[in-house]
A and B are shown apart, each in its own frame.
Chain A
Amino acid sequence: MKAALAAALLLGACASLPPPGCTALSTTTRYCLQPLPAGHTVAVNQLVDMQFPGRPAGERLVFAIDATDARMQIVGLNPLGQTVFRLGVNHGQTQWDGPPAAEALARQLPALVQLMLWPADSVRQGLSRDAALRVAPDGRRLHDRDGTLLLDTRQSDPDPRLGQVDAVFTPLDARWRVTRLAD
């Protein structure tokens, strides 16, 4: 009985937390990581210029991304090619190997990458039901149910894995420029 009560209390306490594999994008919208559709794979190296509040100089990293089905690896490299972090996702479970100070932000990284790069249908399946994703050849716009803009991307190629993507993540006030590096 005591155990059941403790479990009930614990569940109640966790009700507002997103479940494993899911990221809260706003108070009403979450995104749960999605596997790539059968037959799809992603293996790209991207130069990512990031700007955050309080960091006007920004950060420049290379993301080496490799994804198949429900597994995704993101390795962050500095521009000299030294590994800064390694993030693995396997069926929604994330594994972080990098600076502890960056872990909280980095755990949102797979969701941000998928929102920008994954096939639109897969992204829709991972979003809360009342979120609105509009996809056009030149970008994506994601609003929550209140109409608040959560993500705005502009892409140079209809396939966001190619070319350049400029993204604004409104909740984080973060701006990214993602450029695919030639093979």
Chain B
Amino acid sequence: MTRRSFLLAALAGLAGVMLARPLWADEALLQEIATRVADAPVLRAEFSQTKTLAALRKPFRLAGRFTYAREAGVLWQVDTPYPARYLIGREGMVEIGPDGQRRAQSGREAAGVARAGQILQALLGADLAPLQSAFVLDASRQGEGWRVTLTPRSAELARHLARIELAGHDAVEQVDLFEAGGDHTEIRFTAIARATQLTAAEAALFAR
């Protein structure tokens, strides 16, 4: 790097620091969001998911419900257009068949699913701190609510994922995933309810 280009880079960096909002403002808001959202060990909601695929005319829609257990993971139950049940946790994802039989993901796909499971669990709990190593977090207020944009730090992740946007009030109400290739997944959560413990049926499904 020549002296002149080094100076330009240094000036650009300084300008960036001056133009950026103070770091503490985001961190305070992120902490506030985590406090507002993660105050229950169990969260239940219905979801509607729409995936818009780049260059395809017909979007793909799913609907169902989920149970988020802070200590155990996420039970994701698709009701339409077909029934499907999945347990998603930090260790990965297990499919639960109609007969109750469990099938774990294996191979290379499992690692990606496990990572996605970690992200999903963190997103649903608005437990954003662990995501800061992989994403740049930008939080803002939206009226009474909030919005957080997660932008991948690594070029490798950015090759697949452009950004994730979260929005809500006292819970995460919408997640938008923008893939690098142009696909967009919107997940809306409704009928959000908090609880202190799992039902017996849920506990049986979470038990591995």
A residues in contact (CB < 8 Å) with B? 43-45, 47, 57, 62, 64, 66, 73, 75, 77, 79-84, 86, 97, 99, 179, 181-183
Contact = CB atoms under 8 A, between A and B. Distances in A.
A84 B103 CA distance: 18
B78 interface: yes
Leading 10 A-B pairs by shortest Cβ distance:
A66-B56, A181-B81, A79-B84, A43-B58, A43-B57, A81-B51, A45-B60, A75-B53, A64-B56, A81-B62
B151 interface: no
Contacts of A43: 56-58
Interface in B62-98: 62, 76, 78, 80-82, 84, 86, 95
Contacts of B185: 81
B56 A79 contact: no
Contacts of B183: 83
Interface string B111-127: 00100100000000000
Contacts, number: 57
Given A79-B84, A81-B62, 8 more contacts: A45-B58, A47-B81, A47-B82, A77-B60, A80-B84, A81-B49, A82-B116, A183-B58
A98 to B, nearest CB: 11
Interface in B15-37: none
B112 to A, nearest CB: 8
Nearest to A86: B181
A73 B82 contact: no
B164 to A, nearest CB: 14
B4 interface: no
Nearest to A77: B60
A44 B116 CA distance: 27
B51 A99 contact: no
24 contacts: A43-B57, A44-B58, A62-B60, A64-B53, A66-B56, A66-B58, A75-B53, A75-B56, A77-B60, A79-B82, A79-B84, A79-B86, A80-B62, A80-B86, A81-B185, A82-B113, A82-B116, A83-B179, A84-B109, A97-B181, A179-B82, A182-B80, A182-B81, A183-B58
Interface residues of B, number: 26
Contacts of A45: 58, 60
B177 to A, nearest CB: 10
A47 B78 CA distance: 14
A84 B62 CA distance: 16
Contacts of A80: 62, 76, 78, 84, 86
A143 B183 CA distance: 40
The CB with the most chain B CB atoms within 10 A, among A80, A97, A183, is that of A80
B67 to A, nearest CB: 15
Contacts of A179: 82
Nearest to B58: A43
A66 B181 CA distance: 17
Given A47-B81, A182-B81, A64 B60 contact: yes
Contacts of B109: 84, 99
B208 interface: no
Interface string B188-208: 000000000000000000000
A56 B82 CA distance: 21
Contacts of B181: 86, 97
A148 to B, nearest CB: 34
